[in-house]
Structure 1
Amino acid sequence: MKPNTLLTSALWALLSPFAGWAVLRVAGWEPKLRWSQLVSFTPYAAAGSLVPLALALALRNRPATYAALVVGGLLASVVLPRAVPQGVPEAAGQPLRVMTANLRVGSVPAEALIGAVERSRPDVLTLQELTPDLAARLDRGGLRALLPYHLEQLGTAVYSRFPLRPGLGFAAGQWQHVGGLLTLPDGSEVDVVGVHACAPAGGWLAGCWAQSIRVLPPAVAKRPRVLAGDFNSTLDHAVLRELIATGYQDAASVTGKGLVMTWPYYGRSALVPKVAIDHVLASEGVVVRSFETLALPRTDHRATVTDLVLRRGA
């Protein structure tokens, strides 16, 4: 086989996995196996698709160049929009700051979390993997003085500066989500859900993962809704996109920070690819002002802090 023929064959072989990835991602088909995990890395696949394009250009192979442009364009079309800010519309209403943190089975020191709350001053804090021991240490450390209202289910908790009572319900013993109804100082109410979805592992767990997203409430409601926490899903998962399509905004994406990764960090090499699985979703009538992440010690997740405004009359 001639050298040029070998290079051409190698080029098409290199391009093929990216083409398959693009087709699966755009079609939204998620076969079992490990695709529900692999699809999380679509931003890296989009970047990697530049390699066969560069090689095709270098070899002056026109068919491969066109094919690589199509593949790269498909991947870019699903990744780049989340890195483009959509702009912050003018809105008068009640501000609401929401903070989320996965505590890695209670590993975060109580004083570190309380310090972060004191600095960030959230109105609502949702916690995942909160253990009874850490909850007791947080109470002794003064968290309840900062955020006196509290709901919890299966290690997921919602703390609030404002009055909070049980709201949307989830089957106890089955889902780690907790729903509350928040009453704001202007008298308006908002549904708040602290989210902790199953992990998208293989086998039967994949079913648990998808269903744990599907049980979350759609955005269509009489009241504004905010879902915040560890969704164990990225914007490349069809099940999360379907939830968002009911009328939610992903706070990171609309502020152009949808490629800011939130997991895994602690104990992992900087070379390990990171993904964005911690989200704040806001329904119609809620304006997203800003979205930031921050590091907490001894957890593999980044915490998030999101500024929202509930429009008057929403």
Structure 2
Amino acid sequence: MPDTSDKYARIMILNTKQDAADTVKIVETVKTEHVEVLALQEVSWSLLDRLASAGIADYLPYSVAAQQTWHDNGGVNVLYSVAPMEDVKQNLIPVESSSVPAATIEFAGTKVRFGSVHPFSPRPSNQGLWNRSLDSLAQLQHYDSLYVLMGDFNSTWDHASLRYLLGGRFLDSGEQAGEGLHMTYPAMLPVSEIDHIVHRQKRGRGRP
């Protein structure tokens, strides 16, 4: 069973591919893997309804969906949690490609601020939006919450914009684990690592 009294958070990210994900399988994975925080991208309101029907609230009863905007990148971003959420926001920081839902969740006395993110892909028509989105997320380096940003960043370590986002404050959790690359895209034969979990230490000023 999930246990937020220990020092470990079992977290999961998934791009639902514009409503195409199997919601029953998502709930089954949450159950069997004892997921405590789930970040979803490209979520539609009908998918949220299907997740509810599949029983997601039996395992992750707390949630926040991003504020819907005209420029949503395939759908909204969503966070689910096994534990109560504090300081919940539908739009943590202005990100032009898709709003970032965020909430603070306590694990063993430590409060961690989670966000579900999804910048546009760096296609020629979206290049400016992609750069501005990653630059906006990089501003979180200057605030004092203990952030964990989870999602489809549409970027790899080869992209200077991702390295700028990480800066001297954020760390790529997969890279820090020392397990090499974790290929995530495309789903059937992944050859690229564009989905990431990044975290940072607590120091800085203020907080959004």
Per-residue deviation, residues 228-286 of structure 1 (Å, max 9, x unmatched): 000000011111101111311111111223422100133xxx5xx7110000001126x
| Structure 1 residues 98 and 220, CA gap change in structure 2 (3 angstroms) | farther
Q: Is the 8 A contact 1:218 1:247 kept in 2?
A: no
In the TM superposition, what is the alpha-carbon distance from 1:170 to its structure 2 partner? Answer: 3.2
Written as runs of structure 1 = structure 2, the 5 A alignment for 1:268-287 is 270=189, 274-284=191-201
Distance 1:133 1:158 in 2: 16
SS in 2 for 1:114: helix
Distance 1:143 1:220 in 2: 34
TM-score normalised to the size of structure 2?
0.81
Asked if 1:130 is matched to 2:52, the reply is: no
Distance 2:175 2:145 in 1: 23
Asked if 1:188 is matched to 2:110, the reply is: yes
In the TM superposition, what is the alpha-carbon distance from 1:135 to its structure 2 partner? Answer: 0.8
Distance 1:120 1:161 in 2: 13
Q: 2:112 is matched by which residue type in structure 1?
A: V
Q: 2:127 is matched by which residue type in structure 1?
A: A
Q: Is the 8 A contact 1:181 1:189 kept in 2?
A: no
Q: 1:198 is matched by which residue type in structure 2?
A: F
Per-residue deviation, residues 186-229 of structure 1 (Å, max 9, x unmatched): 443221110111010013x1000111111114334322110000
Distance 2:119 2:170 in 1: 17
Structure 2 counterpart of 1:170: 93
Q: Is the 8 A contact 1:232 1:277 kept in 2?
A: yes
Among candidates 161, 167, 170, match of residue 82 of structure 2 = 161
Distance 1:265 1:179 in 2: 24
Count of residues in Structure 1 that have an aligned counterpart in Structure 2: 186
Q: Is the 8 A contact 1:218 1:246 kept in 2?
A: no
In the TM superposition, what is the alpha-carbon distance from 1:118 to its structure 2 partner? Answer: 0.8
Distance 1:140 1:277 in 2: 30
Structure 2 counterpart of 1:144: 57
Asked if 1:245 is matched to 2:162, the reply is: no
Asked if 1:118 is matched to 2:35, the reply is: no
Q: Is the 8 A contact 1:158 1:178 kept in 2?
A: no
In the TM superposition, what is the alpha-carbon distance from 1:102 to its structure 2 partner? Answer: 0.4
SS in 2 for 1:184: strand
Q: Is the 8 A contact 1:179 1:191 kept in 2?
A: no
Distance 2:130 2:105 in 1: 31
CA RMSD of aligned residues (A): 2.0
Written as runs of structure 1 = structure 2, the 5 A alignment for 1:214-293 is 214-216=135-137, 217-266=139-188, 270=189, 274-284=191-201
Greater share of helix: 1
TM-score normalised to the size of structure 1?
0.55
Query: Unpaired runs of 5+ in structure 1?
Result: 1-92, 286-314
Q: Is the 8 A contact 2:120 2:129 kept in 1?
A: yes
Distance 2:10 2:178 in 1: 18
Asked if 1:103 is matched to 2:16, the reply is: yes
